[in-house]
């Protein structure tokens, strides 16, 4: 499924990040522009590249301008791909450290369920 | 981008206040404006609020200022040639106590005199317009207006994209000290170099005490955390941005993407910069909102975050020069109203910088209404007490 450079041999599939065996944020060459990065908010690789080209390459700004990482998964499915495309477009230093802030809750939770939690749990 | 060694004005902070001031100064012919920002543009309170642009205020003076502020937002998209997503979502104060309803009769009459479209609704009318409150704590009434929201990030980007060649913005640049002598400010020192300048504008809101201290300027504003949560999007069902003050202060509204943003205010939030998220906020907000609007039990929280309110003793911002240090200007202490007030008040500030005279509408916001010895006070727990006639009179 992958060639020696980590490129997908399946025409419709791109493999990025650690799945490509190239390290956390490394991207194989030639991520297609229409490669889907953020499933929740429907953000493609080209949209991220366009932000870098427009001078908005800071990960916090790419996130806010494209909506990537802001949907119900909060980046759990897409952060690797997001970083890979951004590193490809803006250089690896653009995604060094924690590129954006992780925040609670870990998973989406109903307001009603929060009210139902045991008072004793509230420390 | 290399940091310039000299400037005519150095602006500290690239939020709505700093960028608004930079734009207004440039429009008035001030050359070489350097904006330094510790993080990315909009990283402070500007990127963490929900950008309600409300004309209806509790006092006539604040309502007049807020009208000018909203007018400025209505024109902003055209002037900056960029969509800031100004949208008349509607705005409602939900009232739970009969004395709030009585107080609002006078407030609504004042709005009518000024030309603000607001109306006092009965309990039944409130539930008709805002069925989300059906089955919750019984409401006594509400005040509904045609006020607006904008998108805070779109406002920041509209400013960034519109700035001309006189302004340079330097993100990820931290101010480490301020050089001044007995009479005036001389230079701003950062971790990326020193900038000599005759004029500095502190536009750092929640961090302004730290920056003022570097210049040996003492002001009574102090930062306090405010927390927010956001839910997964749902179909548009809540027909206004709502706020309630009693018996507990809280608010919610839907964004243009359909998410519900909300917060229950912690009246005991301590002073200090703190942008961490708390479990107690999540619990407090879930309890308050599901009690008032039981339909919200089924919305799912996907994220919570926190930002800073920089609060002054009179809950009005500090905008202008100070007699404590020549060349030291401030646009801070926004007390939770920066998105609304900053574009217009920094226009007045820029006017003051270039003419040397404070425009009439800026007078009650000038820093010198406080002395260097004015004590920072505890926050007023009761919202209305902050805007009682006595409190307003003491600063006018």
Give chain B's mean pLDDT: 95
Instruction: Kindly determine whether residue B153 and residue A115, on different chains, have CB atoms separated by under 8 Å.
Output: no
Show the CA angle centred on residue B32, arms to residues B27 and B37, nearest 5°. Answer: 95
Q: Per residue, what are the HEC states of A45-84? A: HHHHHHHHHCCCCCHHHHHHHHCCCCCCCCCCCCHHHHHH
Task: Supply the ipTM of this predicted assembly.
Answer: 0.91
Cβ–Cβ contact A112 with B under 8 A: yes
**Residues of chain A contacting B40 with CB distance shorter than 8 Å:** 58, 60-61
Q: What is the pLDDT of residue B144?
A: 98
Any idea what DSSP says for residue B189?
E
Q: Is the peptide bond prior to A105 cis by the omega test (within 30 degrees of 0)?
A: yes
Residues B114-139 have a mean pLDDT of 98
Rounded distance, CA B362 to CA B348, Å?
A: 6
Written as six digits, the tokens of A22 are 């190239």
| pLDDT per residue as tens digits for the range B202-215 | 999 999 999 999 99
Q: What is the pLDDT of residue B372?
A: 87
| pLDDT per residue as tens digits for the range B262-309 | 999 999 999 999 999 999 999 999 999 999 999 999 999 999 999 999
Show the CA angle centred on residue B152, arms to residues B147 and B158, nearest 5°. Answer: 110
Reduced to 3 states (helix: H, G, I; strand: E, B; else coil), residue B133 is: helix
Residues A101-105 have a mean pLDDT of 93
**In Å, how far is B283's CA from the nearest CA of chain A?**
6
Rounded distance, CA B63 to CA B57, Å?
A: 5
Q: What is the pLDDT of residue B393?
A: 37
Cβ–Cβ contact A100 with B under 8 A: no
Q: Which of B47, B279, B297 sits opposite A110 (nearest CB)?
A: B297
Instruction: Kindly determine whether residue B301 and residue A105, on different chains, have CB atoms separated by under 8 Å.
Output: yes
Instruction: Kindly determine whether residue A104 and residue B282, on different chains, have CB atoms separated by under 8 Å.
Output: yes
Rounded distance, CA B183 to CA B367, Å?
A: 18
Torsion angle of the four alpha carbons B261, B264, B267, B268, in this order, in degrees rounded to the nearest 10: -90
Q: What is the pLDDT of residue B382?
A: 79
Cβ–Cβ contact B299 with A under 8 A: yes
Residues B9-21 have a mean pLDDT of 98
Q: What is the pLDDT of residue B375?
A: 83
φ/ψ (deg, to 5) at B186 = -115, -40
Torsion sign, CA atoms B21, B24, B26, B28 = negative
Q: What is the pLDDT of residue B374?
A: 87
**Cβ neighbours of B112 (radius 10 Å):** 12
Examine the pLDDT at B378 and tell me if it is beyond 90: no
Q: What is the pLDDT of residue B391?
A: 46
Nearest Cα to Cα of residue A21 among A40, A47, A2, A44? A2
Residues 6 or more apart whose Cβ sits within 8 Å of residue B277:
A103, A104, B227, B304, B305, B306
Enclosing H/E stretch for B124: helix B123-129
Rounded distance, CA B312 to CA B206, Å?
A: 11
Examine the pLDDT at B86 and tell me if it is beyond 60: yes
Nearest Cα to Cα of residue B240 among B383, B131, B102? B131
Rounded distance, CA A39 to CA A67, Å?
A: 11
Cβ–Cβ contact A96 with B under 8 A: no
Residues B370-394 have a mean pLDDT of 71
- Residue that has been written with the tokens 């207006």 in this structure: B145
């Amino acid at each position: 499924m992958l060639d020696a450079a980590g490129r997908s041999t399946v025409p419709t599939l791109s493999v990025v990040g650690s799945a490509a065996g190239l390290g956390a944020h490394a991207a194989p060459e030639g991520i297609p522009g229409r490669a889907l990065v953020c499933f929740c908010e429907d953000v493609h690789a080209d949209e991220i590249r366009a932000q870098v080209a427009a001078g908005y390459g800071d990960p916090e700004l790419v996130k806010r301008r494209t909506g990537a990482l802001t949907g119900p998964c909060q980046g759990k499915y897409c952060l690797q791909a997001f970083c890979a495309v951004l590193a490809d477009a803006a250089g690896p230093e653009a995604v060094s450290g924690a590129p954006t802030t992780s925040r609670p809750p870990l998973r989406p939770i109903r307001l009603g369920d929060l009210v139902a939690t045991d008072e004793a749990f509230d420390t | 981008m290399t940091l310039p060694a000299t400037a005519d004005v150095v602006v500290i902070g690239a939020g709505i206040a700093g960028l608004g001031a930079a734009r207004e100064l440039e429009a008035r012919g001030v050359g070489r404006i350097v904006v330094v920002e510790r993080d990315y543009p909009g990283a402070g309170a500007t990127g963490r609020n929900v950008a309600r642009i409300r004309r209806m205020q509790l006092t006539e003076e604040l309502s007049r200022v807020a009208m000018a502020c909203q007018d400025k937002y209505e024109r902003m998209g055209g002037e900056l040639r960029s969509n800031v997503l100004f949208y008349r979502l509607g705005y409602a104060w939900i009232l739970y106590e009969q004395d709030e309803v009585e107080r609002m009769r006078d407030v609504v009459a004042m709005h009518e005199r000024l030309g603000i479209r607001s109306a006092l609704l009965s309990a039944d009318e409130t539930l008709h317009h805002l069925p989300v409150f059906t089955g919750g704590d019984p409401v006594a009434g509400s005040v509904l207006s045609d006020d607006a929201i904008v998108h805070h990030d779109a406002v920041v980007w509209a400013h960034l994209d519109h700035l001309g060649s006189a302004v340079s913005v330097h993100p990820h640049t931290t101010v480490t000290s301020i050089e001044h002598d007995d009479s005036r400010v001389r230079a701003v020192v950062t971790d990326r170099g020193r900038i000599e300048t005759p004029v500095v504008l502190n536009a750092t809101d929640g961090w302004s005490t730290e920056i003022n201290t570097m210049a040996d300027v003492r002001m009574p504003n102090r930062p306090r955390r405010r927390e927010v949560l956001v839910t997964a999007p749902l179909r548009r069902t809540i027909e206004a941005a709502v706020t309630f003050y009693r018996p507990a202060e809280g608010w919610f509204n839907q964004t243009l993407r359909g998410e519900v943003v909300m917060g229950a205010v912690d009246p005991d939030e301590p002073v200090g910069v703190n942008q961490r998220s708390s479990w107690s906020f999540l619990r407090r907000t879930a309890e308050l909102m599901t009690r008032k609007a039981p339909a919200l039990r089924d919305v799912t929280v996907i994220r919570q975050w926190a930002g800073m309110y920089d609060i002054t003793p009179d809950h009005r911002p500090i905008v202008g020069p100070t007699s404590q240090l020549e060349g030291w200007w401030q646009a801070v202490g926004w007390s939770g109203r920066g998105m609304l007030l900053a574009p217009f008040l920094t226009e007045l500030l820029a006017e003051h910088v270039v003419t040397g005279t404070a425009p009439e509408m800026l007078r009650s916001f000038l820093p010198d209404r406080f002395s260097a010895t004015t004590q920072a006070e505890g926050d007023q727990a009761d919202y209305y007490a902050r805007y009682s006639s006595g409190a307003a009179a003491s600063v006018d």
